Amino acid sequence: MIILFAAAALASCGGQKKTPALNPDNFDESYALNDDFYEHFTAGWQKRNPLTAEYSRFGAFDMLRQSNELRVKELFAEIEKTEAEKGTVEQKLADLYRLGLDSTRLNAEGAAPLKAYLERIESLCCRECLSSLLGSIHRTSANPFFASGVGADEKNTSVNVLYIGQAGIGIGDRDYYFDESAAQIREAYESYIKKVTTLAGYTPEEAARIAESVLRIEKSLAESHFTNVERRNPHKNYNKLTLKQLKREFKNIDWDAYAAAMGFEMPEELIVSQRPALARANKLIGTEDLRTIKDYLIFHEIRSAASYLSDEFTATNFDFYGRTLSGSEQERPRWKRALSTADGNLSEAVGKKYVEKYFPQEYKTKMIEIVANLQTALGKHIDALDWMSDATKVKAQEKLASFTVKIGYPESWEEYASLEIDPALSYLENIRAISAWHTADNLADLGQPVDKAQWLMSPQTVNAYYNPTTNEICFPAAILQPPFFNPDADDAVNYGAIGVVIGHEMTHGFDDQGRQYDKDGNLNDWWTKEDAEAFDKRAQVLVEQFDAIEVNEEGLHANGTFTLGENIADQGGLRVAMTALRDSWGENKPQPIDGFTAEQRFYIAYATLWAQNIRPQEIVRLTKVDPHSLGKWRVNGTLPNIADWYEAFGITEGDMYRAREDRVIIW
């Protein structure tokens, strides 16, 4: 799945105040637009929206998320007013939200809710029982050593299969365990392990031992993990094995016992995504002493629970993951955390109410029209490619015509009928029950036909995605607000915003990853050898352009290979959306508005999406873990390849000017 992040202010509904199409207060003419287009059109926004202590990054996207959060909060306030019957989704949502808000109870309980889970680990008496314990932990809380789940078979997307892949490291990215520049982060992580385990009831001496065990196992696991770049290679991550092969190659894990504890029966075939990582996990499980393994499991049980315990736990968790890793200065308010948990765990129950209250049908109708225009435009671009053969173009057009388009909300809703939320139990116990429910729900799909009507995001999510195995693009209701989709704005602004988002997601079907999947979503090479080589040659130019970008004063560079798919999609989205905009004019090109031509308004709207402030720590973290380029470079790194942008603003020189022979266009 490929995801786009973006942005901004609340939509106008009914008699509410209209949202301006473009706000000149966002601009700062002290930056020459041919030197720094991003700052020229967003620096004013940055000055008016300084980072608060809560955020490590705050942009137009976060502003929209913030506004949307208030909408969801309003929904929960309405739910809480009703005296819901036990077993209804209203009861489940209200009780889960209240449990998260009840700081008095959470602080009084302290580490007590953890006791039974830790005792389960401490009681492990033999290596033969470890696989069953791992299954129980994977079912309810965390993914030590490895992870498993059910999804479409990438080479036969009509059926769901079991996947097993790398997991089990706590910092978030393998490079943090080895980079010299990350030494302070490793030290902070060790301190975090000691503190959070001490809060759970272990002595300082025991906490020091646990930290040593965790760091040794996690560093060993990290050595075997694929890099973020390697994980983008779908063929390298597709290793189908029979059950006999799995048991023979990874024999230190009792796979039948593991599956039984998880709640399923091992299938005769499955896919191991990262084979070296599972081999390392298998080795550690077979060779590390039991005390070391228990220490490692104890920490991951505590870490996964910390957000649902007392203030001491949440503050300790924030201090490392928020303050140290991301640079945030203040933990989010409790109501936001409680709301996010309830919303995220019962997302379709919230989504159904969200759509009823906030999503007008005319938005969906307009989106269907815009999407159709973008598909037509992308088809034109495919036909016009001078580097692609007619044979491959036919296949590309077939794939484009086969896109499934999802807009706003799913046709049917998850009712969560078998899920119980019991306020007599602790917050943590309820969270564990929810995790077990979601695990069982996922595992129930094993061996079953793929449900292509299923949504991978809730309607209230401010985001969008392309899923290669179902060849679908999805635009949840919440993203259809300004500045993405503004019913009060002119077409140029809407095409520069939501139009680019649509084009971006469509282009993902043809980026360096997406192009490897056919019209039915199967990992299947439909390209001629010559066309694939021509694509790779152009893609490499884009890689080198982004590799050259320094993202901070310490000389950290962007990773053009890691971000290649998103960079291709940004460029494709811009070009395809501009074509669709011009097609919509016909013979009647609009007159300038507020001194800007339609083409100029299109590009200004695009830059507006990425307005943001960001902390230095978050720049480093996102450069390591996020396949999207940083906001500034989604603008300044992408536009210099696009001839229309030069023409729109008359750019013939400047820091952003790129000679024609150095520009690259893929779609």
- Does the structure show a pLDDT above 90 at 433? yes
**What secondary structure, in 3-state letters, does 473-488 show?**
EEEEHHHCCCCCCCCC
The encoded tokens of residue 432 equal 């564990």
Share of the chain above pLDDT 90, in %: 91
What's the confidence (pLDDT) of residue 16? 52
What's the confidence (pLDDT) of residue 366? 86
Backbone angles phi and psi of 657, in degrees to 5: -70, 135
Q: State mean pLDDT over 125-131.
A: 94
What's the confidence (pLDDT) of residue 495? 95
Q: Rg of the chain over CA atoms, in angstroms?
A: 25
The per-residue pLDDT of the chain, averaged, comes to 94
Q: Is-contact 243 255, C-beta < 8 A?
A: yes
Architecture of domain 128-288: Orthogonal Bundle (1.10)
- Residue 243, amino acid: L
Spell out the residues 6+ positions from residue 57 whose beta carbon is closer than 8 angstroms to its own: 51, 326, 612, 613, 614, 615, 618, 622
Task: Count CB-CB contacts under 10 A for residue 186.
Answer: 16
- Residue 596, amino acid: F
Domain boundary assignment for the chain = 2-9+26-50+359-412+453-662, 128-288
Backbone angles phi and psi of 450, in degrees to 5: -70, 130
Spell out the residues 6+ positions from residue 617 whose beta carbon is closer than 8 angstroms to its own: 56, 324, 325, 326, 327
Q: What is the pLDDT of residues 69-98, one digit of tens each?
A: 999 999 999 998 888 899 999 999 999 999
CA distance 70 to 64: 10
Cα–chain-centroid distance for residue 76?
25
CA distance 601 to 585: 15
CA distance 631 to 260: 45
The encoded tokens of residue 539 equal 């893609």
Q: State mean pLDDT over 591-615.
A: 96
Burial of 63 (0-12, 13-18, 19+ CB in 10 A): buried
Q: State mean pLDDT over 492-502.
A: 95
CA distance 507 to 666: 10
CA distance 37 to 344: 37
Q: What is the pLDDT of residues 220-261, one digit of tens each?
A: 999 999 999 999 999 999 999 999 999 999 999 999 999 999
CA distance 425 to 102: 13
- Does the structure show a pLDDT above 60 at 479? yes
- Cα–Cα distances (Å) from 186 to 193, 218, 292, 325, in that order, read 11, 11, 19, 10
Confidence category of residue 126, pLDDT binned at 50, 70, 90:
very high
Cα–chain-centroid distance for residue 143?
18
b/e for 474-495, b at 16 or more Cβ within 10 A? Answer: bbbbbbbbbbbbbbebbbbbbb
What count of Cα atoms within 13 Å lies in the side-chain half-sphere of residue 657? Answer: 11
The encoded tokens of residue 147 equal 């992870």
Beta-strand runs (E) in 400-522: 404-408, 464-467, 472-476
Confidence category of residue 213, pLDDT binned at 50, 70, 90:
very high
CA distance 64 to 200: 37
Confidence category of residue 14, pLDDT binned at 50, 70, 90:
very low
Q: State mean pLDDT over 90-117.
A: 97
Q: Is-contact 76 342, C-beta < 8 A?
A: yes
CA distance 454 to 459: 12
Q: What is the pLDDT of residues 632-655, one digit of tens each?
A: 999 999 999 999 999 999 999 999
Confidence category of residue 172, pLDDT binned at 50, 70, 90:
confident
Spell out the residues 6+ positions from residue 120 whose beta carbon is closer than 8 angstroms to its own: 133, 136
CA distance 95 to 350: 14
Q: State mean pLDDT over 492-499.
A: 95
Backbone angles phi and psi of 108, in degrees to 5: -70, -35
Q: What is the pTM of this model?
A: 0.92
Burial of 377 (0-12, 13-18, 19+ CB in 10 A): buried
Q: Which 3 state secondary structure label does DSSP give 87?
A: coil
Q: Is-contact 422 92, C-beta < 8 A?
A: no
- Does the structure show a pLDDT above 50 at 11? no
Confidence category of residue 459, pLDDT binned at 50, 70, 90:
very high
Per-range mean pLDDT, top range of 8-12, 81-85, 201-205: 201-205
CA distance 667 to 374: 13
Residue length of the chain: 667
What's the confidence (pLDDT) of residue 171? 95
Architecture of domain 2-9+26-50+359-412+453-662: 3-Layer(aba) Sandwich (3.40)
Q: Is-contact 420 402, C-beta < 8 A?
A: no
- Does the structure show a pLDDT above 50 at 293? yes
Angle between helices 500-508 and 361-384 (to 10 degrees): 60
What are the residues facing 365 on neighbouring strands? none
Largest CA distance in the chain: 79
- Does the structure show a pLDDT above 90 at 210? yes
Angle between helices 115-122 and 290-305 (to 10 degrees): 170
What's the confidence (pLDDT) of residue 584? 92
Q: What is the DSSP string of 520-575?
A: TS-B---S-HHHHHHHHHHHHHHHHHHHT-B-STT-PBP-TTTTHHHHHHHHHHHH
Q: Is-contact 570 658, C-beta < 8 A?
A: no
Confidence category of residue 17, pLDDT binned at 50, 70, 90:
low
CATH fold match for the domains 2-9+26-50+359-412+453-662 and 128-288: no
Query: Residue 7 has what DSSP assignment?
Result: -
**Taking Cα atoms as reference points, which of 113, 134, 121, 133 lies closest to residue 199?**
113
What's the confidence (pLDDT) of residue 166? 97
Confidence category of residue 315, pLDDT binned at 50, 70, 90:
very high
